[in-house]
Amino acid sequence: MIEFDFESREAAASWRRRIFDVGYLFYELLIDRYLKENNKTYEALSEKESDILLNLYRDFYNNKVSKNKKEDLESIIEQEDLEKELQKYCKKVKF
C-alpha cells in the first residue's frame, strides 16, 4: 500500500487481484480462440491440449508482453475495452 501509494489496504488488494484477473482473461480468450479455430467444445479439449494452451499462455504473456504493457492493460476499467486489447495479443499466439 505504501510503496505504490494506495489510499488503503483494500485498494492495494484490489489492484493485486486485477493483475491476476487480466492474465486469467487472456488465458480464457486464448482457449476460446483455439476452440473456435479447431471447431471444438471445452469439454472435448484433451488434457494434452489443455497443457499446451497453458504453456503457450504462460510463455507468451510472461515473455512477450512487457511489464509496461501489462500495467496499461491492468488499468483498463471497461471489460469490453480490455477484451479488445487482449484479443490483439491472442491473434499473435501461434498454435
Tell me the residue type at 31. I
Q: pTM for the full model?
A: 0.83
Domain ranges (residues) in the chain: 9-90
CA 45 to CA 35: how far, in whole Å?
A: 8
The predicted-structure confidence for 17-72, as pLDDT tens digits, reads as follows: 778 899 999 999 999 999 999 999 999 999 999 999 999 999 999 999 999 999 99
Is 83:22 a contact under the CB 8 Å cutoff? Answer: no
Q: What is the per-residue pLDDT for 84? A: 96
Per DSSP, helices labelled H in 1-95 are 9-37, 47-63, 67-74, 79-90
Is 53:64 a contact under the CB 8 Å cutoff? Answer: no
Q: Is the pLDDT of residue 13 over 90?
A: no
Q: What is the per-residue pLDDT for 6? A: 67
